Amino acid sequence: MSLNQPSVFSYKFRLYPTQEQQSELSQWFWATRYIYNKTLALSKFQYQKSKKNPELYWQDKPLSWNYGRFSKTLKHIKQKPNSSWIKNTHSQVLQNSLQNLNSAFQRFFKLDNVGFPQFKKKKSTQSLSWSQNVVCYTWKWEQYTSFPWFWHIKTVFHRSLPSFTEYDQTSATLSKDTIGRYFVSIRFIKKSFETHSETGEITEVKRKKWLWRIKKGSTKEAKFSTTETLSAYFWEKLNSFWFDIQSEFTQFQSKQSWLSTSALIWQFVKSLVQNKKLSQQLLQDTSLGIDMGVKDLAVLSDWTTISNPKFLTNKQKKLAKIQRRLSLKLEQAKAKLGLKWKAIPRWTKLQLSSNFKKQSQKLAKVHAQIADTRKDFFYKIAHQILQKFLGVNSQFVNSQQYSPTSSMKVIFIEDINIAWMLKNRKLARIISDTGIRLFLQILKQTAYKYNVLIEEIWRFNPSSKQCSECFTLNQNLKLSDRSWTCSSCWTSHNRDYTASQNIIHFWLQKVLTHYVTSHFVTAKQSTEEQLWAVKKRSISTSPPLLWLSPLSA
């Protein structure tokens, strides 16, 4: 391929199993779901019991919620007399489901924002995973995928598989979504990633450890944002202007001698950022700022505007019609039990008609169409943004002549807290319809392929309220004001375009503050005290300065 590939990645393909294969797969889904829920129920009972006694809780915590205990539960279930339907399922599938439960418990105990593991439902997405012996092949002009104990499932390979001389296949996951579509996701790992740094030979110890971490899901994918590499690049550029910056700092210090050290550095850095010549020489068309929004999906610093398609909003009438018919069919089922227009009591089972199931499938298909359309749009937009930023076209990128850029190219975005934004009840549906989190994830993945860095700035920076020319803050700016005029320099600003420009300025301001503090501070204070003073002064208008060790001090 012409684009970069990370060390670990996955390809997803569509499967078309026959009716016999679908019925067998449903039994396998049932078995894995039963093992998962049964083990989770026993663990939940033990957790609630031990939580009442703190000593018992901390004593049994490392024993009751790990894969060793779960595997003993699986062995006990298989030894029961009526467990032949579980034994007909491949052992890798059952073991991997318990591995997923183990990782869910580990995240629950280690992370604060992760809740207790939930039971699997029959109506939600079902999955089976294998760790080895999954083969993709072509036979009689037809494409197939074979799994252990499950052979010859028709597959559509819409993209070519990576070379097996360069990549190893580590695992495969067969899944079924809510509307009955089957997919297979195959994970690959680069062989050169496992080689020894000096001899070039593959070390089995490192290989086994890496594959074990992949199975647990604890591996970190390729780093899409490398702050240290980016800071080092700009640090070397600033060294070429060292004498100019030093002379300017000496003159500025003589004029503003009454200021404290922290205030002096802060004001000097502001003057450097306002210096357009220095900013242009540092950036040299190597940076792009992107401001995300609801009215427009993204506004770029080169005046490119990407409108919000609003896929969910455009389907509201169709969804309302389907949901209205679905609600009437539910009331008909409730009327048989004398519960029409009443709440359903707990543990009450309704005899739902086949028309209700057909209508629910129609509703699920519309939601799946919205999700697929949004994801396809985001991938196309991400490639268009990067190709325009690098000055290449799609035909040249798809050809074998194209190679990713070797120069430093950076895209700056805001670190947006989507969960906090969704708490606004009036804008929650529109924000979720925009899909900002998914778009940023796709943009980071695509940028890595083009060898472009993604850097995030602090979410509380006043990017929309600050003038991009004189850096004056407009504290009276409201969310409804889409354009405003600066009271100091009388420059007219577009809210979103100004934010995309200021996103670049804020990151440049952070790098310059670090550089000036490390080179031109006086020896009266220790470096840590000076850094804390600058950070404390700038906390109201700037992010916490993420200081890096000086590379050329």
d(CA 190, CA 133): 18
Q: What is the 3-state secondary structure (H, E, C) of 8-72?
A: EEEEEEEEECCHHHHHHHHHHHHHHHHHHHHHHHHHHHHHHHHHHCHHHHHHHHHHHCCHHHHHH
Closest by Cα among 57, 55, 31, 27 to 43: 57
Mapping DSSP to helix (H, G, I), strand (E, B) and coil, where does residue 202 land? strand
pLDDT above 70 (res 531): no
Instruction: Please give the biggest Cα pair distance in the chain.
Output: 90
Nearest of 371, 374, 330, 376 to residue 353 by alpha carbon: 330
Q: State how beta strands 410-414 and 167-176 pair.
A: unpaired
Q: What is the mean pLDDT of residues 502-523?
A: 77
Rounded to 5 degrees, φ, ψ at 151 are -120, 160
pLDDT value at 162 more than 70: yes
pTM exceeds 0.85: no
Displacement of CA 246 from its chain's centroid (Å): 42
* Domain ranges across the chain: 8-216, 224-283+466-553, 285-312+371-460, 317-363
Query: How large is the average pLDDT for residues 530-550?
Result: 41
Which residues face 296 on adjacent strands? 307
Taking 70 as the threshold, does the pLDDT of residue 395 lie above it? no
Distance (Å, rounded) from C-alpha 361 to C-alpha 217? 32
**What sign does the CA torsion over 503, 509, 515, 517 have?**
negative
Length of the chain: 553
433-480 per-position pLDDT tens digit: 999 999 999 999 888 888 888 888 888 888 888 888 888 888 888 888
Give the angle 439-288-283 at the CA atoms, nearest 5°: 155
> For residue 205, what pLDDT band results from cuts at 50, 70 and 90?
very low
Q: What is the pLDDT of residue 551?
A: 30
Q: Could you identify the residue written with the tokens 């298909």?
A: 365
The whole-number average pLDDT for the span 382-389 is 90
Residue type present at position 547: W
Q: Following CA atoms 481, 487, 491, 492 in sequence, which dihedral angle do they give, to the nearest 10 degrees?
A: 20
Question: Has residue 246 got a pLDDT over 50?
Answer: yes
* CA distance linking residue 263 with residue 269, whole number of Å: 10
Predicted local distance difference test score (pLDDT) of residue 457: 86
Which residues fall within 8 angstroms of residue 34, CB to CB, at 6 or more apart? 86
Per the listing, tokens 């078995």 go with: 31
Share of the chain above pLDDT 70, in %: 80
Residue 159 · residue 9 · CB < 8 Å: no
Distance CA 498, CA 486 (A): 11
Confidence of residue 541 (pLDDT cuts 50, 70, 90): very low
Place 314 in a pLDDT band, splitting at 50, 70 and 90. Answer: very high
Ramachandran assignment for 347, one of left (phi > 0), alpha (psi -120 to 50 degrees), beta (any other): left
CA angle 108, 109, 110 (to 5 degrees): 95
State residue 477's pLDDT score.
87
* From 24-28, 315-319, 528-532, the region with the lowest mean pLDDT: 528-532
- Helix (H) or strand (E) run with residue 319 in it: helix 316-335
Whether the CB-CB separation of 337 and 348 falls below 8 Å is answered with: yes
Most confident of 59-63, 190-194, 531-535: 190-194
Using CA atoms, how far residue 252 sits from 246, 260, 266, 402, 518, in Å, is 10, 13, 12, 48, 17
Task: Name 412's bridge partners.
Answer: 289, 455
pLDDT in tens, 350-374: 888 899 999 999 999 999 999 999 9
